């Protein structure tokens, strides 16, 4: 499973990238706003840091405008993935941009039917939103499973990029189903290292070691 970070916080990306935990990055207009930085500047810095795909999202709603914006974003760096919404115009833009050799991430996917269309339009990645489906009392993992089954049935090359990840359990379940990629906030990735039994065991080891009165090294 590939790990993408869903953030435009360069310090957070750097910390995890230095540990070899980052296969790519996804950004969106909300994350750019949160960073407080110019989209071109911060995206270029991220692209220079991370070897894998970096998703930069168009904001236009019409296909021709999406294509124009996508080509501008693609000039930032070779590893840019152009992010378009799963609308009819977004699918049109996906087809043109992918035919031109650009990586395309089709985002805001909430049904298997949408995912089929994205694959046929040449999407590099499809981004089903797990957490937002959970918010309306549906099981987002059911969507991941449906897309995985359909893509495997027909050999679609589009990678399933599980998005709107809210918890470690989301990551584990997406991995069990076979999502190719997950994108999650750095805080969720870091929380994967935490377990109460690890903390309890470490506390016991430290207490026992203190009783020995020993030191390792000088």
Catalytic residue annotation = 83
- Interatomic CA distance for residues 212 and 194, integer angstroms: 27
Biggest alpha carbon distance in the chain? 72
Tally of CB atoms within 10 A around 24: 23
- Interatomic CA distance for residues 104 and 90, integer angstroms: 10
- Interatomic CA distance for residues 87 and 59, integer angstroms: 13
- Interatomic CA distance for residues 4 and 13, integer angstroms: 10
DSSP state of 129: B
- Interatomic CA distance for residues 180 and 182, integer angstroms: 7
Q: Judge contact between 74 and 82, C-beta under 8 A.
A: yes
The beta strand positions in 110-195, using DSSP E, are 125-128, 159-162, 181-184
């Amino acid at each position: 499973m590939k790990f993408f970070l869903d953030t435009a916080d360069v310090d957070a990306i750097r910390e995890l990238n230095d540990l070899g935990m980052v296969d790519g990055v996804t950004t969106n207009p909300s994350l750019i706003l949160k960073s407080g930085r110019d989209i071109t500047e911060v995206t270029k810095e991220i692209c220079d840091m991370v070897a894998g795909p970096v998703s930069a999202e168009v904001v236009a709603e019409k296909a021709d405008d999406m294509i124009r914006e996508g080509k501008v974003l693609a000039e930032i760096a070779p590893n840019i993935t152009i992010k378009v919404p799963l609308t009819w115009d977004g699918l049109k833009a996906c087809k043109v941009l992918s035919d031109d050799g650009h990586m395309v991430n089709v985002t805001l996917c909430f049904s298997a039917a949408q995912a089929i269309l994205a694959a046929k339009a040449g999407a590099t990645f499809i981004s089903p939103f797990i957490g937002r489906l959970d918010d309306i009392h549906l099981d987002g993992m059911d969507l991941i499973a449906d897309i995985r089954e359909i893509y495997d049935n027909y050999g679609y090359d589009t990678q399933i990029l599980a998005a709107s990840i809210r918890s470690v359990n989301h990551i584990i379940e997406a991995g069990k189903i076979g999502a190719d990629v997950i994108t999650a906030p750095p805080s969720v990735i870091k929380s994967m290292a935490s377990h109460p039994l690890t903390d309890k065991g470490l506390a016991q080891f430290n207490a026992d070691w203190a009783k020995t009165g020993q030191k390792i090294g000088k």
